[in-house]
Amino acid sequence: MPNRIAVIETPKGTIKFELKESEAPITTKNFIDLAQKGVYNGLTFHRVIRGFMIQGGDPKGDGTGGPGYKIRDEFSPKLKHTKGAVSMANAGPNSGGSQFFITEDPQPHLDGKHSVFGHVIEGQDVVEKIKQGDKMLKVTIQ
């Protein structure tokens, strides 16, 4: 079965990424469940660091929020923080929730610290246009 695709619609355009379901099953299931419940719709990219990453998925919008639970880390030797990696933000080991980030450039120092669960297949140019405070209008799974 082919991997599903997550679609993030923003005012700057659309970002599509492939979900790496076989390499990160817990993390992808968590993201899919949250997206299908509409949790991400209307949330902002609250942290943007040019040349590094854009981060969103916080219901509070300030980097401290989450879904009310934590998931364990998943690390696969196949999944690295290359340009366009989609990865779980965390506050230490096994503390992922709803916040995620997309890399603008390779970030190998994050390998083994954050769970990569997807990779941008369309819209990396949109990633690089996102500014802090831009909204995720809608997040869907195909």
Among 19, 31, 46, 90, the one annotated catalytic: 90
The residue annotated as part of the active site, out of 99, 114, 117, 119, is 114
Catalytic entry in 47, 75, 124, 137: 47
Catalytic residue among 41, 52, 124, 137: 52
- Indicate the helix (H) or strand (E) that contains 89: none
* Catalytic-labelled residue, pool 34, 110, 117, 119: 110
Q: What angle do CA 128, 133, 136 make, to 5 degrees?
A: 75
Whether 137 is catalytic: no
52 is catalytic: yes
CA–CA distance, 11 with 24 (Å, rounded to integer)? 29
Closest CA to 29 of 121, 138, 141, 110: 141
Q: Which of 43, 45, 46, 55 is catalytic?
A: 55
30 classed as catalytic: no
Q: Are 72 and 78 in contact (CB under 8 A)?
A: no
The reply to whether 114 belongs to the active site is: yes
142 is catalytic: no
Please confirm, yes or no, whether 90 is among the known catalytic residues: yes
Q: Is-catalytic flag, 3? A: no
Active site residues: 47, 52, 55, 90, 101, 110, 114
